[in-house]
Amino acid sequence: GACVVTGDLRQWHRVEVECTGFSASEADDATFTDYRFNVTFTSGSSVVTVPGHFAADGDAADSGATTGDVWRAYFSPPRTGSWQYDVSFRSGQNISVDTAANAGNAMSVIDGLSGSFNVTSSPAPATDMRTRGLLQHLDGDRYLRFAGDGSIYIEGGMDSPENIFGYSEFDNTTKFSDANSCKGILHNFAPHAGDWRSSDPQLANYRGRSRIGLINYIASTGVNAIYIMANTVRGDGCDAHPWAEYNASGQVKRFDVSKLDQWERALTHMTANGIMIHLKTQETENNQLLNNGNLGLERQLYYRELISRFGHHPALQWNLGEENTNTPAQQRAFSDY
């Protein structure tokens, strides 16, 4: 096995640690349940352990790969200077959701690999969320505040369409009609294809330009947040979801690697354009879908994948569910986990 550090080696930007040497497939439950790839980042007194994820061939957003030997962790450094990383790669039944550091068995091919890198200050413009630092809600503070420059943030955002990730050019995204609540359209955002710029990201074969153009248009109006439903299965949209299969069939242990990498490309463009990610994990029609509304294996897997892939964004608001019917005890369990 071997690891490399890539990404933006800047404060509050996305640093990537990619390790290779253990092959897996998104078609196998065990890839997501029985292997745990975590990376601990250390700089002086700052110690942060982040959950990593299976990344197929490392280029799945464009290649569409479902197999490979790349495992990846994203990290947003809260300070400049030298950082060390240490890899933990362990196996065991359902170990991916086990929070005990020494659970299971070490996988020697990657476990124990380490390295270092140096982080410098962000060169991004003031409109980029990464120049302002982690957006936090501090005890006793009335407003959300950025850790970097201490400035106040007041959300002035867009809550419709809630199924904005029900987008025709994301992999494995189809409109279903398997519940009475299903409605609306599968979006293509064609009018915003002209808002895409040549310097902007896209997907392979020129796909995804209208989605990026939409972000450009929204940012140009001064709107500073977008509401995104990560799971609309049997909800109002019946289209957006992170799994390898539309999970109305109950298959919720396998995640679509290429689609999630495509989501990340869109979210990164939002962050760079001053738009907070308001991420809703469920809606009232499907908040009993995972473990009958309790905190069980499938729900833990779902949270781990979302956090691993998107938690590095400095301005991200987690929403446990709009129009929610989970009990207060269930909601506290979700939040604690």
- Is the model's pLDDT at 248 over the cut of 70? no
Q: For helices 257-272 and 209-220, what crossing angle results, to 10°?
A: 30
Distant-in-sequence, close-in-space partners of 336: CB < 8 Å, separation ≥ 6: none
**Which DSSP helix (H) or strand (E) runs through 297?**
helix 297-310
For residue range 152-206, what is the model confidence (pLDDT) as tens digits? 999 998 988 999 999 999 999 999 998 999 999 999 999 999 999 999 999 999 9
- The pLDDT confidence band at residue 277, using thresholds 50, 70 and 90, is very high
The closest of 246, 322, 331 to 279, measured between CA atoms, is: 322
AA letter at 230: A
- Which residues are paired to 145 by β-bridges? 136, 152
Evaluate if pTM is beyond 0.85.
yes
pLDDT at residue 302, as a whole number: 97
pLDDT at residue 31, as a whole number: 98
pLDDT at residue 48, as a whole number: 97
CA–CA separation, 306 vs 271, rounded Å?
16
- Which residues are paired to 91 by β-bridges? 35, 105
Torsion angles phi and psi, residue 317, rounded to 5: -110, 115
Burial letters 93-108, b for 16+ CB under 10 A, else e: ebbbbeeeeebbeebe
What percentage of the chain has pLDDT greater than the value 70? 99
CA–CA separation, 13 vs 155, rounded Å?
21
